[in-house]
Amino acid sequence: MGGLRTTLARPVTREGIGLHTGQPVKVHLRPRAFHDGRVFVRTDRSELTEVKANFECVCDTTKVACLRSPQATIVTVEYLLAALAVLKIDDLTIEIDGPEMPILDGSAAPWIEALEAAGRRSTSANRRSLRVVKPFVVKDGIRSMTWLPAEQFCLDVQVGFPGHNRSSERWSGPVTPGVFSRELAPARTFGFESEQALLRRRGLIRGASWGANAILLRDDQSVAPARLRFADEVVRNKALEALGDIALLEVPIIGKLQIIEGCHAFHIRALRQWLSAQDVWAWAEYATTHAVR
Residue-level pLDDT, tens digit, the chain, 293 residues: 568 999 999 999 999 999 999 999 999 999 998 899 999 999 998 887 999 999 889 987 667 789 998 889 999 999 999 999 999 999 999 999 999 999 999 999 999 999 999 999 999 999 999 999 999 999 999 999 999 999 999 999 999 877 666 789 999 999 999 999 999 999 999 988 888 899 999 888 999 998 889 999 887 777 877 789 999 999 999 999 999 999 999 999 999 999 999 999 999 999 999 999 989 999 997 544 333 32
Instruction: Examine the domain organization and report whether 59 and 141 are in the same domain.
Output: no
Residue 222 falls inside a structural domain: yes
Instruction: Examine the domain organization and report whether 89 and 145 are in the same domain.
Output: no
**What is the set of active-site residues?**
264
Point out the domain boundary residue: 67, 92, 127.
127
Q: List the domain range (segments joined by +) for residue 59.
A: 4-127
Domain count, the chain: 2
Point out the domain boundary residue: 89, 107, 127.
127
Instruction: Examine the domain organization and report whether 59 and 196 are in the same domain.
Output: no
H helices present in 36-108, as ranges: 78-86
CA–CA dist 153, 238 (Å, integer) = 17
115, 31 Cβ separation under 8 angstroms: no
Instruction: Examine the domain organization and report whether 36 and 175 are in the same domain.
Output: no
Instruction: Examine the domain organization and report whether 44 and 77 are in the same domain.
Output: yes
CA–CA dist 182, 159 (Å, integer) = 21
Q: Cβ of 65: how many Cβ atoms within 10 Å? A: 27
Residue 134 falls inside a structural domain: yes
20: left (phi over 0), alpha (psi -120 to 50) or beta: alpha
**77: CB partners within 8 A, 6+ apart:** 40, 53, 64, 65, 66, 67, 101, 244
Instruction: Examine the domain organization and report whether 147 and 276 are in the same domain.
Output: yes
Q: Which H or E element spans position 115?
A: helix 109-118
Instruction: Examine the domain organization and report whether 164 and 34 are in the same domain.
Output: no
Any idea what the CATH number is for the domain that residue 15 is in? 3.30.230.20
Find, among 61, 112, 57, the residue nearest to 86 by Cα.
112
Find, among 118, 113, 141, 146, the residue nearest to 259 by Cα.
146
pTM (predicted TM-score): 0.93
Instruction: Examine the domain organization and report whether 107 and 133 are in the same domain.
Output: no
**279: CB partners within 8 A, 6+ apart:** 133, 134
Query: For 83, how many CA atoms within 13 A lie in the half-sphere containing its CB?
Result: 21
Residue 135 three-state SS:
coil
Residue 292 falls inside a structural domain: no
CA–CA dist 94, 119 (Å, integer) = 15
Any idea what the CATH number is for the domain that residue 195 is in? 3.30.1700.10
Instruction: Examine the domain organization and report whether 220 and 242 are in the same domain.
Output: yes
Residue 138 three-state SS:
strand
